[in-house]
Amino acid sequence: MINFDILIVGGGIAGASVGAEVAAHRRTLIVEAEDQCGYHSTGRSAAFFLESYGGPVVAQLSTASADFLHNPPQDFAERSFLHQRGALHLSQGDWPELPSEVSALQVDRDELERMVPGIKPQWARALLEPGCADIDVAALHAAFLTQFRRSGGTVQLGARAMSARRESDRWRILLADGSELTASLVVNAAGAWADSVAECFGVGRLGVAPKRRTMVQLRVGRSGLKDLPLVNDSQGNFYFKGEGDRSIWLSPHDEIDTDACDAAPEEIDIATAIDRFEGVVDWPIERIERSWAGLRSFAPDRIPVYGFDPDVPGFFWCVGQGGFGIQTSPAAGKLAASILLEAQPDPSIAHIDARDFSPARFR
Ligand SMILES: Cc1cc2nc3c(=O)[nH]c(=O)nc-3n(C[C@H](O)[C@H](O)[C@H](O)COP(=O)(O)OP(=O)(O)OC[C@H]3O[C@@H](n4cnc5c(N)ncnc54)[C@H](O)[C@@H]3O)c2cc1C
């Protein structure tokens, strides 16, 4: 039987980012149930960085991640993970509201028509958030895993953690193939499976709820769209952004309660997305090029959870990353690692109060 200091359950961006921070200090294993680490939410995101998203507590993590994403350390990546795009928050009435610390510019109707040709007349004004950027998610996730392995960490694919019991001060964990291993600490980074993994370890649920979100890639009869800003409705009914010269990524901003699963798009949600899109611009829709869905998992207060379970020793939560798990991952990985290792936080996150993220708030 192999013995580890830390076992991380889940190889998505949450597990990879905390793993990258701890592997140099502790013998660490990531077990990932699928044959590839980014198969679930991490591989299905809309891939943008939007500082205003998720409320003020989440925004602390996004802001603290921005420098790293924009200008990563040379030994982590050779180039930026961000490509600036800008976001337009549309309104039919009053000016939309954004957190005061997020820089934004007012865009009147004339300017809006120039930025989004063919926009329908009811959209009266918008706020432009220039800092919105695309994230190269695959490169970021791969860089975390590379750092993890380079620091001595091991990734085991096709390895589902099935059950565990605590024996004296160690966990004894059974994997789906019947093999066993031990670890002093377990990190639950299982995304939509967060609560079911906790139950496997005899830990009480936190109420982490997976919600399905749909994405559609549309080919439209309008060119010059590649650098179109992220266009979203301040009421939260849709967003879309340029993908290719004549294609866009569109979401109906859906949030459908579901069990943890391999999520797939439903026709009704694709139809809703298209219907809402047709209410924004007059661009003819030529075809649906592809569609997909993924799960965004939220704690009851929609703030992610980083910290030791208050009731069960050696069990650490790293869950509830909702719709911001990619853009917060550099700071979140550092925050989780500092709590896990009981170490001084990195200066980039030293101002963040870890208690805001503690699972103790639910018990
Ligand atoms: C449509 C959509 C759009 C999004 N857009 C954005 C965006 O623009 N910007 C942004 O920042 N975020 C976005 N997100 C959110 C982001 O994708 C998630 O917050 C993030 O990927 C969550 O990462 P994770 O590692 O927690 O989950 P996952 O990537 O799902 O990883 C969890 C892993 O745990 C594994 N696992 C589960 N149970 C076990 C077990 N028992 N044993 C072993 N392994 C197990 C799973 O197989 C899975 O691979 C979006 C999400 C969706 C669905």
Which tokens is 88 given?
């337009």
- Give per-residue pLDDT as tens, 257-266: 999 999 999 9
Find the mean pLDDT for residues 247-255. Answer: 98
- Give per-residue pLDDT as tens, 105-160: 999 999 999 999 999 999 999 999 999 999 999 999 999 999 999 999 999 999 99
Residue of the nearest CA to atom 26 in ligand 1? 191
Atom index in ligand 1 nearest the CA of residue 14 equals 25
Is the Cβ atom of 211 under 6 angstroms away from ligand 1? no
Answer yes or no: are the C-beta atoms of 88 and 127 closer than 8 Å: yes
Structure confidence at residue 98 as a pLDDT band (50, 70, 90): confident
Stretch among 54-58, 133-137, 244-248 having the lowest mean pLDDT: 54-58
Report the DSSP beta bridge partners of residue 251. Answer: 239
Place of tokens 């979203």: 232
- Give per-residue pLDDT as tens, 181-234: 999 999 999 999 999 999 999 999 999 999 999 999 999 999 999 999 999 998
Q: What confidence score (pLDDT) does residue 212 get?
A: 98
pLDDT at 102 over 90: no
Structure confidence at residue 245 as a pLDDT band (50, 70, 90): very high
Q: What confidence score (pLDDT) does residue 234 get?
A: 85
Find the mean pLDDT for residues 80-94. Answer: 97
> 274 in the Ramachandran plot: left (φ > 0), alpha (ψ -120 to 50) or beta?
alpha
The gap from C-alpha 270 to its chain's centroid, in whole angstroms, comes to: 22
Is the Cβ atom of 193 under 6 angstroms away from ligand 1? yes
CA atoms 278, 282, 287, 288: torsion sign: negative
Going by C-beta distance under 8 Å and a sequence separation of 6 or more, which residues neighbour residue 184?
4, 5, 6, 169, 170, 171, 314
pLDDT at 100 over 90: no
Q: What are phi and psi of 100, to 5 degrees?
A: -65, -30
Question: Between the CA of residue 150 and those of 36, 70, 146, 249, 329, what are the distances in Å?
Answer: 18, 22, 6, 35, 19
Answer yes or no: are the C-beta atoms of 319 and 192 closer than 8 Å: no
Q: What confidence score (pLDDT) does residue 138 get?
A: 98
- Give per-residue pLDDT as tens, 332-346: 999 999 999 999 999
42, 148, 177, 195, best to mutate for ligand 1 pocket (most atoms within 8 Å of CB): 42
Place of tokens 């859906």: 254
Which tokens is 346 given?
């990195």
Atom index in ligand 1 nearest the CA of residue 192 equals 30
Atom index in ligand 1 nearest the CA of residue 42 equals 21
Residue of the nearest CA to atom 22 in ligand 1? 325
Distance CA 126, CA 337 (A): 39
Place of tokens 């329908």: 120
Is the Cβ atom of 10 under 6 angstroms away from ligand 1? yes
User: Among candidates 136, 125, 123, which has minimal Cα distance to 78?
Assistant: 136
Is the Cβ atom of 17 under 6 angstroms away from ligand 1? no
Report CA(11)–ligand 1 centroid distance (Å).
9
Distance CA 140, CA 138 (A): 6
Q: What confidence score (pLDDT) does residue 158 get?
A: 98
Is the Cβ atom of 232 under 6 angstroms away from ligand 1? no
Q: What are phi and psi of 34, to 5 degrees?
A: -85, 175
Distance CA 105, CA 129 (A): 7
Is the Cβ atom of 33 under 6 angstroms away from ligand 1? yes
User: Among candidates 193, 191, 175, 192, which has minimal Cα distance to 183?
Assistant: 175
Which tokens is 94 given?
């009053």
Structure confidence at residue 42 as a pLDDT band (50, 70, 90): very high
Atom index in ligand 1 nearest the CA of residue 327 equals 11
Report CA(325)–ligand 1 centroid distance (Å).
7
Answer yes or no: are the C-beta atoms of 112 and 119 closer than 8 Å: yes
SS3 category, 196? helix
Residue of the nearest CA to atom 16 in ligand 1? 325
Answer yes or no: are the C-beta atoms of 59 and 99 closer than 8 Å: yes
Report CA(108)–ligand 1 centroid distance (Å).
37
Is the Cβ atom of 34 under 6 angstroms away from ligand 1? yes
Report CA(295)–ligand 1 centroid distance (Å).
7
Place of tokens 């085991």: 156
Report the DSSP beta bridge partners of residue 105. Answer: 128
Which tokens is 17 given?
């980012």
User: Among candidates 282, 284, 280, which has minimal Cα distance to 92?
Assistant: 280
Distance CA 96, CA 302 (A): 22
Is the Cβ atom of 212 under 6 angstroms away from ligand 1? no
Is the Cβ atom of 324 under 6 angstroms away from ligand 1? yes
Q: What are phi and psi of 226, to 5 degrees?
A: -55, -40
